[in-house]
Every structure is written in C-alpha cells, then in structure tokens.
A and B are shown apart, each in its own frame.
Chain A
C-alpha cells in the first residue's frame, strides 16, 4: 500500500550505475518543484503568521518592554525602572478590587447565561413552528453594538429615574442602589452581558444538540425515559465538549469585560469606590486617562498571565472531562465498561 504513495524520485537509483552517462544535473524546473514540495506549504500559511507577528506578537513584546519603563507616549521615549510598575500595580488596592469585580461579574454572567442558553437551545431543538425565525431571533441581541446595549441598560438601571427602579417603587418596593452597592452594580452589568451573549451561546449549543444522533432519543423513548430524563442522560453528556468550548470563550470574554462597565455611568471610572471597576477598565483608565503607559503595560501583562493561568486550568479540566469518553455521548463509555466486565 505505502509504496504507491511514496513519490518516485526524479533521478532514480537505476540511472546511477551507468558510468558512460554523466550524473544528471537537475533542471531549474525540477529544482523548483522540489522546493515547491518543501517550501510552499509554509508560504501558504505564512500570511497568517506574518500578520500575527506584526499585529499580535510585536505588540505583546513591545508591551513587555514598555512595562519596565516610565513611558512618555507623545515623545515615544522612556526610562528604565525595572519591576517598579509591577510592584506598584500589585500593591495597589484598586487592582485587587478590580480583580474581585472582574471575577464577580464573570461568575454572575457566565453561570446564569449558560443555564439559560442550554434551556433555550433545548427548546429550539424541539419540533416547533417557524424554527428559523426563533433561531435567528435569539441571535439578534448579539448583533446589537455592545455600546448601544450598555446605553439602553444604563438607562434602565438608573438609580432615580431608571425603568427598573420606577417599577420597583410603583409596586411598593425599595429601589435598588445600582450605582452604589458593588453586588447590584455587578448584577446590572452581568445582565447586559447575558442579554448579549445568551443567544449566541444558545445557537452554538443548539448546533451541538442537533449533532446528537436521533436514534439515542428513539431508543430512550422506547425504554420509557421522559423528556427530562433524556435531556439529563443523553443531551447534557453529549454537549460536554461544546460546553467546555463555550466556557473557555466566556472566560476569556469575561476577564476582558470592558464596554459594559465603561458605559455603566457617564464618567467610566468604575464608580467612586471602584464598585464596578474591572481590570480592563482600570487598564484603560491608567493608559488613556492618566497616560501612564508603563503602568498600563505592566497591568496588561499581569492580565495576560491571569488569562494564561485560567486558560491552562481550563485545558486541564477539559482533558480530564473529555479524555475517557472521546467527546461523543454516553454510549461508548458504557459499552466499554461492559466490555471490561465481560
């Protein structure tokens, strides 16, 4: 089998033993075609890497260089200060508050969002009328510009004249201090994030759900399992790899959350007592508010490392969860287990 696949070399060994003939010199065309085999795959993929080196790698390295300096943006010059910027950031209580807020908003958005997305996807997976209409509708919030979403929601979450508080006071409840209490500000911001991303995640999960072979459900129905039982025992396990993907993307997005807290009030400073200051918002305010790019670069690298660590954690968890069942469903592991027993 393999011999047919191996490419015959142009100067076959059969030619060599003939002494009368001078060793054949490769023509230019032949040389080219040799290089072609070796080099062209690299050339084909090179545009991405060239682009990445320019717009990805270079900024990352340059940021690292700046983070060790006291940098003047306008004159593009700096003085080396060693680890001072990092030490300043790590000693800054605002940084730790920002870290707390980021994780709090991340949890408040990711968990309800995933639960809701799975629910919506499960509903869309059923046999309903006008499927495409409903499926497109859940994606609509994602199409809206995040800043527009944030503007509308900020209006709803106004402390005195906001829609939500107006309704609350009309039914005789205490208005919620959206812009004073850290927890409530996180809830408000998480609501904006959820509004935007739930439908998007629901569609991804829906795609995964549709890939689950229908025979499983048929068999389950024959076995007498109800819809809920089918969901728990067939749908959810099949969704696992997709869920992990969704969790990773939401983690990266959640740790970089910026638009929503930035638009949550008119100053974009994250609140008088840093109630909803997130890491990227703090980064932006150091960089573009104070023009202190050395510190901003140091903070950017700290954020980079945090994301890297969490990404690695995700990877480990993913491996653990996916390794033994190969990513598709419950059926195979069960069979395997049976196989071991017999």
Chain B
C-alpha cells in the first residue's frame, strides 16, 4: 500500500471510530440542550401520556390556535408500565418529554425525585381536591404534579343476570342492596352463586384493591416502618378476600385475555368500577345491553387510579411546558376529557360543571354517570398512604391471593410465603 492510500485508510478508520463513539454517545445521553430565550419564539413541546387521557388532536389544536408559537407533539405509550420504565430511565438526564404523565400507582416513586420536577405555578394551586394536591406535594411543600383525573369507585352490574338470579335489578334497588359493608357484598355474592351456580364478582384481586384503598396505612407508615405483615387490617383483608371473594370470583386478577373476553359472555355479574372502567367495559362488550352502574360502593367510598402531569425541571422549555400542563388540567379541559374518555375530573370546579354533572352514558342504559361519580367522589373519606414501596408490597399480596385462587397454595401457606417474601425485600 502506498502512503496515500494509507493516509486515506487512516482517515477512514478514524472516521469510523469517531462515528462509533458518537453513536454510542447518542445512545446514553445525546441531544443538545439549547434553551431558547425568546418567549415568543417557535417552540415545539412534547407531551407524553399512556392509555387514553382524552387529549384528542382537536383539543391540542385548540391550544396551538391560542398559542401560535407553540407546536405540540403527542406521544402515547401503550400502557402505564412502559411509561414508567421510560420515565425513571431518563429522569434527571435527558430525553423525557416536556410534559410527562405519571400514574398515581407510581407517583410516589416519582415523588422521591420531586427536586427534579418543576413546581406548579401558584396560580394553579388550589384547583384540585385537597388529597389529590397533597399527594403531589413533597416534604418541602413544593407541588410538582398537575392532577388530571381521579377514580371514584361505583359498582357496575349486569341487570339481566341479576334478574335471572332473582335479585333486584334497577340501579336504585341495586344501590340499596349493596349499601353496607363488605360482608353484605359477599352475602349477596353467595346468594347469586346459590341461584345461578356462577361467580358474581369478576376478580378477587379487584376486591382486594377496593378494600385496601379504604385503609389509611397499609404496608408502610410515613416514618418508613414496614407494617405490611403485622398490620391486622391487611391480614383481615387478605382472609376476607381469600375466604369469601375467591370462591365468588371468576378470575384471580384482571387484565388477562380471558378476563377481557369475559365481560361480554356473562361469566360474572358485577365489577367494582372506577370511572375509567366504564370505557373498558363498553369497549370489551360492545354488543351486551345489560350493563348498568349503581351509585354505591361497599364500605363507603374508595378511589382507584388517576394520574398527574409533571414537567421535568431540566427540560428545554420549562415555562412553556408548565403553561401547557396548566391549561390541560384546567377545569374546562378536564370536563372535556371526562366526556371524551370518562376521566373523572380532579379539579373541584370541573366536578360541578354542568357539562360533567349532567352527562349520561348511553352504553350503561343512559346512567347519569356525571352525577353518580360526583357522589362517589364525595363518599371518599380515606386517602391511603402510599410510599414508593407500596406497589412492591401490593403486588406480592396480590400474588398471595392468586396462589390461593389457583390452588397452588392454601390460605395459611400462601400468607406465610407472602411474609417470607416481604422479609426478603
């Protein structure tokens, strides 16, 4: 090889290596962070959500029309688990969207890094229900999450199946029937089973979720003490679910393919349903006409689910992102997303908005869902304390119920396995 060719080759090799290094660099960090100082300059804001927040293209277009210098790019993750992995992988580094949705399930984990999130402007404070706002306020008193929706729970049921089982079937009658504690709920389940031979409840673990959401302290206390295995309330809940919900449930847990299919074929007659569950039922059983919703929940009220919008503090356009999150969670927009996707508002003003309170749901026999969920929301008296470890413990307890349901372990063995598992954490 002559020297010229050699020099060429050297350059080529150097270029290749440089490209390789650059590529590898991009994978870990990458992207430049030039903040545009001009407030009226063209800005592209990214918004990351999951499932269905009801943020339609029309809604976002409305914001872009009001703010011509802003362009919104909306990324939807398929489910909240994907969003969660992405969130913690990039938080504090680069690559997160300007506005990121966080589900209440893993919000406590995000709150550990509240210093990496931008603070909600004072003008927006006081907009949300107290407990919703308290959940997003850190130890230093910084509010870092814009509340989107909440999940007040009611009972969804199949009127036709109730009638066939000789039970009362209109929403008012059913509300009276279930009015009471969990024992009453299981008594009716026993009656239903005696009459039809079928389970009344969809899944044992949704009952566990309902009961646990009515406790203030579940697995840990605010000072970090782990009470999971000693808490008598948890042990009672476990025993109640295992002894009475398991024999009366069609499934151990929700969200499996079988469970999705079962909403249409009458395998069971009731589901504990937060507002957002209505869309899931109507989506899975579009041709079934018997579904109704009753304004009642065993043992009082309970909240299941609901999300926040957060703004990572190291984003490129933090101020513009805060403005967008502010607008999206304003009462007017929350009313729109309730009608669009059934996300019951966490903003106090939106809950009394006639657009919300007068809304009805055609699939559920024109039930006044706005009214029902507003009342279910008022019935919530306990805000469970959930720290960053909550879901680790709750998942393990759900598995304990699953094992009894599957028959792989009996009630006591499964509890002991859970205790051993918790000790290993």
* Chain A interface, >50% SS class: loop
Taken together as a complex, chains A and B put the C-alpha atoms of A93 and B421 apart, in Å, by 9
With a cutoff of 8 Å between Cβ atoms, the chain A residues found around residue B35 in the complex are none
Given contacts A40-B1, A43-B13, A161-B261, contact A272 B21 (CB under 8 A): no
Would you call B1 and A47 a contact (CB within 8 A)? no
With a cutoff of 8 Å between Cβ atoms, the chain B residues found around residue A275 in the complex are 408
CB distance from B255 to the nearest CB of A (A): 5
With a cutoff of 8 Å between Cβ atoms, the chain A residues found around residue B73 in the complex are none
Would you call A155 and B257 a contact (CB within 8 A)? yes
Given contacts A51-B20, A54-B21, A74-B88, contact A161 B257 (CB under 8 A): yes
Would you call B407 and A267 a contact (CB within 8 A)? no
With a cutoff of 8 Å between Cβ atoms, the chain A residues found around residue B256 in the complex are 158, 265-266
Total number of A residues with any Cβ neighbor in B under 8 Å: 42
Task: Give 1 or 0 for each of B7-25: 1 = CB within 8 Å of chain A CB.
Answer: 1011001001100110010
Which residue in A43, A76, A154, A272 is a CB contact (below 8 Å) of B92?
A76
With a cutoff of 8 Å between Cβ atoms, the chain A residues found around residue B85 in the complex are 288
Taken together as a complex, chains A and B put the C-alpha atoms of A158 and B402 apart, in Å, by 16
Would you call A291 and B408 a contact (CB within 8 A)? no
Would you call B6 and A33 a contact (CB within 8 A)? yes
Taken together as a complex, chains A and B put the C-alpha atoms of A32 and B21 apart, in Å, by 27
Closest to B90 in A: A74
Would you call B89 and A73 a contact (CB within 8 A)? yes
- A-B contacts, 14 listed (Cβ < 8 Å): A32-B3, A32-B6, A33-B1, A36-B3, A43-B13, A47-B17, A50-B20, A73-B88, A75-B113, A161-B258, A269-B395, A272-B398, A272-B406, A273-B399
Taken together as a complex, chains A and B put the C-alpha atoms of A29 and B4 apart, in Å, by 9
Taken together as a complex, chains A and B put the C-alpha atoms of A265 and B257 apart, in Å, by 8
Closest to A291 in B: B88
Would you call B116 and A269 a contact (CB within 8 A)? no
State whether the Cβ of B332 lies closer than 8 Å to any Cβ in chain A: no
Would you call A272 and B399 a contact (CB within 8 A)? yes
Closest to B254 in A: A266
Taken together as a complex, chains A and B put the C-alpha atoms of A93 and B416 apart, in Å, by 14
Would you call B1 and A36 a contact (CB within 8 A)? yes
Would you call A46 and B116 a contact (CB within 8 A)? no
Q: Which of B1-55 contact A (CB under 8 A)?
A: 1-3, 6-7, 9-10, 13, 16-17, 20-21, 24, 27
Closest to B425 in A: A290
State whether the Cβ of A180 lies closer than 8 Å to any Cβ in chain B: yes
Closest to B24 in A: A54
Would you call B406 and A74 a contact (CB within 8 A)? no
State whether the Cβ of B153 lies closer than 8 Å to any Cβ in chain A: no
Taken together as a complex, chains A and B put the C-alpha atoms of A266 and B400 apart, in Å, by 17
State whether the Cβ of B125 lies closer than 8 Å to any Cβ in chain A: no
State whether the Cβ of B249 lies closer than 8 Å to any Cβ in chain A: no
Given contacts A74-B92, A272-B402, A273-B403, contact A180 B408 (CB under 8 A): yes
With a cutoff of 8 Å between Cβ atoms, the chain B residues found around residue A162 in the complex are 258
State whether the Cβ of B91 lies closer than 8 Å to any Cβ in chain A: yes
Would you call B392 and A290 a contact (CB within 8 A)? yes
Would you call B6 and A266 a contact (CB within 8 A)? no
Q: Which of A69-108 contact B (CB under 8 A)?
A: 73-76, 88, 91-93
Taken together as a complex, chains A and B put the C-alpha atoms of A161 and B259 apart, in Å, by 9
Would you call B20 and A54 a contact (CB within 8 A)? yes
CB distance from B160 to the nearest CB of A (A): 21
With a cutoff of 8 Å between Cβ atoms, the chain B residues found around residue A288 in the complex are 85
State whether the Cβ of A325 lies closer than 8 Å to any Cβ in chain B: no
State whether the Cβ of B109 lies closer than 8 Å to any Cβ in chain A: yes
Q: Which of A150-208 contact B (CB under 8 A)?
A: 154-155, 158-162, 177, 179-180
With a cutoff of 8 Å between Cβ atoms, the chain B residues found around residue A180 in the complex are 406-408
Besides A55-B27, A74-B92, 14 more A-B contacts (Cβ < 8 Å) are: A32-B6, A46-B13, A54-B21, A54-B24, A73-B88, A74-B88, A74-B91, A75-B92, A92-B424, A161-B261, A180-B408, A272-B399, A273-B406, A290-B392
Would you call B408 and A47 a contact (CB within 8 A)? no
Would you call A47 and B258 a contact (CB within 8 A)? no
With a cutoff of 8 Å between Cβ atoms, the chain B residues found around residue A161 in the complex are 257-258, 261-262
With a cutoff of 8 Å between Cβ atoms, the chain B residues found around residue A177 in the complex are 406
CB distance from A135 to the nearest CB of B (A): 34
Would you call B257 and A154 a contact (CB within 8 A)? yes
With a cutoff of 8 Å between Cβ atoms, the chain A residues found around residue B252 in the complex are 272
State whether the Cβ of B342 lies closer than 8 Å to any Cβ in chain A: no
Q: Which of B46-97 contact A (CB under 8 A)?
A: 85, 88-89, 91-93
State whether the Cβ of B253 lies closer than 8 Å to any Cβ in chain A: yes
Taken together as a complex, chains A and B put the C-alpha atoms of A179 and B408 apart, in Å, by 11
State whether the Cβ of A133 lies closer than 8 Å to any Cβ in chain B: no
